[in-house]
Structure 1
Amino acid sequence: MPLIVGVHGIGQQYANAGTMQQAWMPPLRQFLPGSADLACAFYGDLFRAPGRLLGAAAVDVGGVSESEYEAELLRAWWHGASAVDAAVVPPEARTLARTPGGVQTALRALSNSRFFAAAYRRVPAAFDRLLVADLRQVRRYMLDPDLRREVLARVEATVAPDTRVVVAHSLGSIVAYEALCAHPEWQVRAFVTLGSPIGVRQLFFDRLRPPPHADERGVPRGHWPGSVRDWTNIADAGDVVALAKDLRPTFGPAVRSFLVDNGAHAHDSIRYLTTEEAQRAVADGLTGG
């Protein structure tokens, strides 16, 4: 039975639960008696294009999307990248979604970003295609209710009665949050979010399930995630995906929010897992400390 459940983020369509466990286990092994005590709620395969029988009709998987949601998310990343990297020209004030060729313009600007160069360092020639694929994954989870249910079902099938810690990276933090909210009967003590975009209003926060509610002052406030006692959110100052570093304004003062330095790979899940803050949060969740 898994004491810790891990939930990955975008860009994992060419991995599986086994490869994820191999990557996440080393930073967490010191806390666990055996590999069976870490389970990975893997959903990346839901974004992988199916194979095609040779000789069958080709399937059009589409090119660069001009959907408003993807364009606005891309613009937010562009704005975030330009704020931390002088090599990235800032976006214009006009709305990207309504600018002809706006997506291509943003992709060209982001090709100069150290953050995105590190994220796609293995395949720089495929930068545009992979970045657009990641945008599409985010859009599909946030806007496609059927896919959302499939992804959440993966988490629900992985969390067990003895699971005490849920660790989630990037988009996975939203997946895990919604699963925890839907299952207050779970006995999860600690929720650790790494490089999370969950506090970004309009694109993520305002679209959560359950939706935010108004507090006593009329300010939108996210629901507390189920049975969780301690929520630790960790973000690198240069992480363009985690644009809202401090979650206290959106989820209340009980969220412990930390800024860390992951070096050149600001959004990397392993860099996050090896921080002292993440290690301490996992340890406290397992010991009840």
Structure 2
Amino acid sequence: MCSIPPHDHLPPRSTESAPQRSDRPRLFADNPPCPAGIVAVHGIGNNFGAGIDAPRSEELRALKAALWARHLSSGLAIAPDRLDLDFAFYADKLAGKQVAQGAGDDGLLEDPLACEVLEGLARALGVPDEAAQGHAAIPLRTFSSWVARRFNLAEGPLRVFLRMWCSEVATYLRAPDATERLAAREEVAARIARHRPRIVIAHSLGSVVAYEALHAHPELQPELFLTLGSPLALPRVVFHRLVPTPRADGPDPRGARMPGGTRWVNIADPGDPVAVPPHLARFFDGISLDHTTVVSGLFRFHHATSYLQSATTAATVAPYLGV
């Protein structure tokens, strides 16, 4: 039974048929659509913790949905209850396979793939070899110190954030057919299938998960795919590991456009060291708008809160919500 009321004031959705892929089931067959204006897809740091049962997890997911609605409505200057927003929660699908990184901040990350993620980020940010020891082995403290100086960020919180970010990205991207990756992707796809949103908003690592989910199920065609603080173009670490694989029919590989008629808009803060390289449209086909705009200073450079409350986000989503 659907608990989210439809938006009667919104214009009707397109009735154009979606492209089919014979090797994957249509999610709509088993999930009757339940209209919602938005499905939000979180980034890193959203694990609720171990030992949480399904009812409690659902309560926490609903709280996250309310929080995102409050932040987004703040930018739109409307009451939160005017938004129908559902929250696609996938962090629990990754939690069991993350490699413990230890408590020390001075040494290397212990997960080899997390080290590759950090190295890829260092290269994309232009960390000099003398600061990254030739990129062969990058101490987290050295790297975070350089990034903190470049972006005028607080080094301590940045180092904690980088450790977490590298670990979660590595867990998701470890293998194309890894159980954790497929489970996270399918969880996001199932929420979209259930609610048939006009908009999918995906932040940080969530933009990678949502990108793959929408390609895995091309019948799931929101009208707008909005990516915030996205690392989708990060070479070797993210971009070259994507499913579908970027096509290499020219001098530079190109990532796939969204299936069907979904419009893709990207927003990145120039002070966000995770949203690199900047300007996703240089790497992906079919991006309608690629905004570079300051959403926040200090350490909130990458927070979903800052992106959701920004005027650029409000201007992007407002036409789809009738506000």
Distance in 2 between residues matched to 1:220 and 1:82, nearest whole Å: 21
**Does structure 2 conserve the Cα–Cα contact (< 8 Å) formed by 1:78 and 1:106?**
no
Aligned partners of 1:134, 1:219: CA distance in 2, in Å? 27
Does residue 237 (structure 1) correspond to residue 270 (structure 2)? The answer is yes
The structure-2 alpha-carbon separation of the partners of 1:255 and 1:35, relative to structure 1 and needing over 3 Å to count, comes to: same
Alpha-carbon distance in 2 for matches of 1:110, 1:119: 6
Offset from partner CA, 1:213-268 (integer Å, 9 cap, x none) = 134x4532111122353211111111111112111121136431111112222111
Name the structure 1 match of 2:167.
136
- Paired position in structure 1 for 2:132: 91
Is 1:2 the counterpart of 2:36 in the alignment?
yes
* Residue in 2 that maps onto 1:193: 227
Q: 227-236 or 203-212: which moved more?
A: 227-236
Alignment of 1:106-145 (within 5 A): 106-111=140-145, 113=148, 121=157, 127=159, 131-144=162-175, 145=178
Unaligned runs of 5+ in 2: 1-34, 50-59, 103-107
Residue 131 of structure 1, CA deviation = 3.8
Query: How large is the Cα RMSD of the aligned pairs?
Result: 3.2
Q: Distance in 1 between matches of 2:135 and 2:260?
A: 40
**Structure 1 residue 72 corresponds to structure 2 residue 116:** yes
User: What residue number does 1:169 align with?
Assistant: 203
Give matches, 1:1-289, under 5 Å. Answer: 1-14=35-48, 16-29=60-73, 34=81, 37-48=84-95, 61=100, 63=102, 65-78=109-122, 90-92=131-133, 94-96=134-136, 102-103=137-138, 105-111=139-145, 113=148, 121=157, 127=159, 131-144=162-175, 145-159=178-192, 160=194, 162-215=196-249, 217=250, 219-252=252-285, 254-261=287-294, 262-264=296-298, 265-286=300-321
- C-alpha distance in 1 between matches for 2:115 and 2:101: 16
The code of the aligned residue for 2:228 comes to L
Q: Within 2, Cα distance between the matches of 1:25 and 1:120?
A: 30
Deviation at 1:20, TM superposition (A): 2.0
SS of the aligned residue for 1:226 comes to coil
**How far, CA to CA, are the matches of 1:80 and 1:188 in structure 2?**
31
Instruction: Give unmatched runs, 5+ long, in structure 1.
Output: 51-59, 97-101
Distance 2:245 2:162 in 1: 28
Q: Which runs of 4+ in 1 moved over 6 A?
A: none
Three-state SS of the structure 2 residue aligned to 1:255 is: strand
CA distance in 2 between counterparts of 1:119 and 1:11 reads: 18
Tell whether the 8 Å contact from 2:212 to 2:242 is kept in structure 1 after alignment.
yes
CA contact (8 A) 1:181 1:224 kept: no
Over 3 Å counting, the alpha-carbon distance change for 1:156 and 1:32 in structure 2 is: farther
SS at match of 1:221: coil
**Deviation of 1:48 (Å):** 4.0
Matched length: 262
The Cα shift of 1:35 comes to: 7.0
Task: Describe the shift of the 1:228–1:173 C-alpha distance in structure 2 as closer, same or farther (beyond 3 A).
Answer: farther
User: Counterpart of 1:95 in structure 2: which amino acid?
Assistant: H
Aligned-residue sequence identity (percent) comes to 32
TM-score by length of 2: 0.70
Equivalent residues of 1:182, 1:226 under 8 A apart: no
- Give 1:111 deviation, angstroms: 4.7
Q: Give 1:283 deviation, angstroms.
A: 1.9
